[in-house]
Amino acid sequence: MNKVLGITLGILTAMGGFVDIGDIVANSETGARFGLGLAWAVVVGVIGICVFAEMAGRVAAVSGRPVFDLVRERLGAKVGLVNLLASFFITFLTLTAEIGGIALALELASDVNYLLWIPVAGLAVWLVIWRVKFESMEQIFGLMGLVLVVMAVALWRLGPDWSDLAHQAAHPAVPHGEGHATYAFWAIALFGAAMTPYEVFFFSSGAVEEGWSRRDLMLNKANVFIGFPLGGVLSLTLMGLTAVVFQPAAVSVGSLSQSALPVSLAVGKLGLALVIIGFFAATFGAALETGLSCGYTISQYFGWPWGKRVRPREAARFHLLVLVALGVAVGVGLTAVDPIKVTEYSIVLSAAALPLTYLPILLVANDRDYMGESANRWLSNLLGSVFLVVLVVVAAVTIPLMIVTKAGS
Amino acid sequence: MSRVVRWLALVAAAGTLAGCTRIVGPVRTAEDYELKAASTADAVLSGVRTAELVVDAADRGRAFASYVAVALDDAEGDASGAAATFASLQPPGPSSDQLRDELDALTSEATDALATLRITARRGDLDQLAAQAEPLADIADRLAAFSEQHG
Amino acid sequence: MSDPSAPPGRELLLALQLLDRQIVDRHGKLAGKVDDLEISLPSGGGPPVVTALLTGRGALADRLGGRLGRFAAALSRRLVAGDRERPGRVPVSRIADIGNHVTVALDADEMPTYAVEAAVRHGIVEHIPGSGVKGA
């Protein structure tokens, strides 16, 4: 019975924890602009993250080491270093975006300018990382994020033309007035938002933090194959909401307040409160994950002690890294750079770096030295390889598209 | 190996920087200017329509005061930002001046109305919003017409 | 010549199975990675022998080479007290086991690379309340 509870909890946590500021921004903006015409990009992204997160979790459970830890020894120090630099930079950028997201959510609740919330957010994130137990941290924010299901209620209450929505999703087309390059750019943005690298670093390191072993392979599969797709459904629901409310009015979404508006209109004050809490939980949880991942990546490359499972004084450099990363992220946020813009860049640059961060996972998961009998079977390898080809193509076109479309405008 | 990596990194950095810059230089042709005017009208329209929706939510008791204030502030910020960007553009020639004046009048009306709403909302007088939002529908229509005509 | 402290008869492919591996101390604590290997020519003649694992203190930067590598190595050596010229050295005699990682018969704080971790610990982390409490 306990096992079922554990698995259920894991699924719920994964579902609630799936959405972050990148997903919120990308799904809101594309829904308003393209209706459900880019829903397929989210679906493909979710499949991708499932395939690779399952591998990353399996590697951690079987070998006792997170996947990033193994990149250096499997691919060599030089390649590992390039991987580290790209991964760290993107993770840090995402952290900055999430801190901004927390501040924006708090602003919605309080009407206190978000800039004042940024240092508060940074401090709160650090305090939770410093003191709260890893599993508790995951469960609290994962489950809190579940309140986002109010978005599904809102969509249903709006009474949209379901067959029309389904048609839009199933027959992707560039709407009148939008260019093909912009459409492709936003498809990549959604992709990057669904597959941000920190998710696999964190998932893999988290598995080690929680002491997963071979017995937890089932839990791994459940979290990934049920939790993540359900989280993806939440993202798509947000896309649907902005499609129904904003697209007919030719409104373009550029602020978090707009993302919450459909729920307010459909469900009222309670719904609005819930969706703001949901945005807060999503961004706070993601800030915890990206903050820790900033520490994980560097510590694991150099072999330093890392993680919350040892006392902070035993992993001094790791904790210093996290502290500094948070400090700099707060600093960047305080320059009043638009958090939505930072988010857009973080997801697009993530898309550009995906092959670099995902190829090592595929290689490590195939290595019988670490994995023994749990190494990839043909299906994981097939899916993984197909995705890698897709990721390379995506990465190749991302920067040119960004230039051509002026970052999607 | 490191040379390839260095080259790739340079390309990526250059591309990122290029994508980042939204430096708006002088617009060369009257057609381009007209298109920019139309897209500015679209952006301002977006702010106005968002404000209408927010006021609707407030009026029906579906949103609380702090949210309404922030949402209206955001809408105003989006609209005035777009208008300011356009105003900073050098018109290519005297023939474009009339277009500029026309759009300027429209956007000023819009941003004034949005500012009034924002101020009222911040004071917590949500019940007054609906009345103050009445001009928005007409402004929106004119912005839409402008965009249609020049876009 | 095979590594004298490895189980008899086992041969290792150095680059694949020893270099860049995680070093773990006798208590299971993480203690850096094998950044480089010290290979010496025995004085009595014979083929080269691995005499030590090199870790920390610029060893990795030295191995990666290039201008950036040399700069990083010099910086690293400046930051850490101790023998300015030489990287952290773990003699081969102290290797307890080589498998998925390298286990050494030392405590992490006996290792030459411990200096930076200790500096950060004593200089910064210990001063923050709660640093002695397990947060997991």
3-state SS track over A23-50: HHHHHHHHHHHHCCCCHHHHHHHHHHHH
The answer to which of A75-79, A95-99, A222-226 has the lowest mean pLDDT is: A75-79
| Residue whose C-alpha is closest to residue B92's, from B20, B29, B2, B4 | B29
C20 with A320: Cβ contact below 8 A: no
The answer to whether C20 and C32 are in contact (CB under 8 A) is no
Interatomic CA distance for residues A47 and A380, integer angstroms: 12
Number of domains comprising chain C: 1
Average pLDDT score over residue span B132-138: 95
pLDDT at B9: 65
A291-302, pLDDT tens digit by residue? 999 999 999 999
Residue whose token pair is 């200017």:
B33
The answer to whether A169 and A40 are in contact (CB under 8 A) is yes
Maximum alpha-carbon separation in chain C: 57
Partnered with residue C70 across adjacent β-strands are none
The answer to whether A139 and A13 are in contact (CB under 8 A) is yes
What CATH number is attached to the domain comprising A111?
Answer: 1.20.1740.10
CA torsion through residues C104, C105, C109, C110, sign: negative
Residues of B with CB under 8 A from a CB of A: 1-2, 5, 11-12, 15-16, 18-20, 22, 42-43, 45-46, 49-50, 53-54, 56-57, 60-67, 69-71, 74, 77-78, 122, 144
pLDDT at residue C1 is higher than 90: no
The answer to whether A361 and A51 are in contact (CB under 8 A) is no
Q: Which residues contact A76 (CB under 8 A, 6 or more apart)?
A: C20
Which of A252, A257, A352 is the closest to B71 by Cβ? A257
Residue A21 lies in a domain: no
C63-112, pLDDT tens digit by residue? 887 777 777 777 776 666 555 455 678 888 888 888 778 898 888 877 76
Residue C134 lies in a domain: no
Interatomic CA distance for residues A337 and B15, integer angstroms: 20
Residue C95 lies in a domain: yes
The answer to which of A256-260, A392-396, B112-116, C76-80 has the lowest mean pLDDT is: C76-80
Domain range holding C108? 14-127
Residue A359 lies in a domain: yes
C114-123 and A316-334 are packed helices; what angle lies between their axes, rounded to 10 degrees? 60
Partnered with residue C24 across adjacent β-strands are C30, C103
> Predicted confidence band at C2 (pLDDT cuts at 50, 70, 90)?
very low
Q: What is the DSSP letter of C130?
A: T
A200-215, pLDDT tens digit by residue? 889 999 999 988 998 8
CA torsion through residues B71, B72, B75, B80, sign: negative
ipTM value, please give it.
Answer: 0.91
Angle at alpha carbon of residue A335, lines to A330 and A340, rounded to 5° = 80
pLDDT at residue A250 is higher than 80: yes
pLDDT at C129: 84
A39-66, pLDDT tens digit by residue? 999 999 999 999 999 999 999 999 888 8
With CA atoms as reference, the chain A residue closest to C25 would be A305
Q: Chains touching chain A at 3 or more Cβ pairs under 8 angstroms?
A: B, C
Query: Distance, in angstroms, between C37 CA and closest chain A CA?
Result: 14
Residue whose token pair is 């901004």:
A100
User: Does residue B13 or residue B137 have the better pLDDT?
Assistant: B137
| Residue whose C-alpha is closest to residue A195's, from A385, A61, A53 | A53
A272 with B71: Cβ contact below 8 A: no
Residue C80 lies in a domain: yes
Q: Is A138 on the interface with C (CB under 8 A)?
A: no
| Residue whose C-alpha is closest to residue A346's, from A125, A98, A122, A115 | A98
Residue C27 lies in a domain: yes
Mean pLDDT of chain B: 88
pLDDT at A124: 97
B24-78, pLDDT tens digit by residue? 556 678 888 999 999 999 999 999 999 999 999 999 999 999 999 999 999 999 9
| Residue whose C-alpha is closest to residue A108's, from A235, A280, A225, A356 | A280
Domain range holding B86? 28-150
CB count in 10 Å sphere of residue B135: 15
Residue A291 lies in a domain: yes
pLDDT at A299: 94
> Predicted confidence band at B20 (pLDDT cuts at 50, 70, 90)?
low
| Residue whose C-alpha is closest to residue A136's, from A23, A305, A288, A324 | A288
Q: Is A79 on the interface with C (CB under 8 A)?
A: no
DSSP state string for B95-118: GGHHHHHHHHHHHHHHHHHHHHHH
Interatomic CA distance for residues B4 and A37, integer angstroms: 38
B89-126, pLDDT tens digit by residue? 888 888 889 999 999 999 999 999 999 999 999 998 99
| Residue whose C-alpha is closest to residue A341's, from A255, A218, A275, A220 | A255
Binding-face residues of C in 15-54 toward A, CB within 8 A: 19-23, 29-33, 35
Q: Which residues contact A192 (CB under 8 A, 6 or more apart)?
A: A22, A26, A45, A347, A348, A349, A350, A351, A352, A354, A398
| Residue whose C-alpha is closest to residue B137's, from B39, B55, B37 | B55
Phi, psi of B129 (to 5 degrees): -65, -45
pLDDT at residue C136 is higher than 50: no
C49, two tokens: 């022998």
Average pLDDT score over residue span C41-68: 82
B106, two tokens: 């429209």
Q: In Å, how far are C1, C45, C51, C99 from C10, measured between CA atoms?
A: 11, 23, 17, 11
Instruction: Go through chain A and tell me how many residues it has.
Output: 409
Residue C73 lies in a domain: yes
Angle at alpha carbon of residue A387, lines to A385 and A390, rounded to 5° = 115
Angle at alpha carbon of residue A327, lines to A325 and A329, rounded to 5° = 70
Residue A149 lies in a domain: yes
Number of domains comprising chain A: 1
Mean pLDDT of chain A: 92
B99, two tokens: 């277009």
pLDDT at residue B134 is higher than 70: yes
Number of domains comprising chain B: 1
Angle at alpha carbon of residue A251, lines to A247 and A255, rounded to 5° = 115
Domain range holding A366? 33-170+181-404
Residue C92 lies in a domain: yes
Residue whose token pair is 């005035």:
B80
pLDDT at B15: 58
Interatomic CA distance for residues B74 and B65, integer angstroms: 14
What CATH number is attached to the domain comprising C90?
Answer: 2.30.30.240
Q: Which residues contact A391 (CB under 8 A, 6 or more apart)?
A: A48, A354, A355, A358
The answer to whether B144 and B42 are in contact (CB under 8 A) is no
User: What residues in B contact A264, CB-CB < 8 Å?
Assistant: 57, 62-63, 67
Interatomic CA distance for residues C92 and C42, integer angstroms: 14
- What percentage of residues in chain B have a pLDDT greater than 70? 82
Residue B4 lies in a domain: no
Residue C91 lies in a domain: yes
User: For A37, how many CA atoms within 13 A lie in the half-sphere containing its CB?
Assistant: 18
Q: Is A73 on the interface with C (CB under 8 A)?
A: yes
DSSP state string for C20-57: TPEEE-TTS-EEEE--EEEEE--TT-SS-EEEEEEEST
Interatomic CA distance for residues B95 and B34, integer angstroms: 11
Residue B10 lies in a domain: no
Interatomic CA distance for residues A256 and A349, integer angstroms: 21
- What percentage of residues in chain A have a pLDDT greater than 70? 100
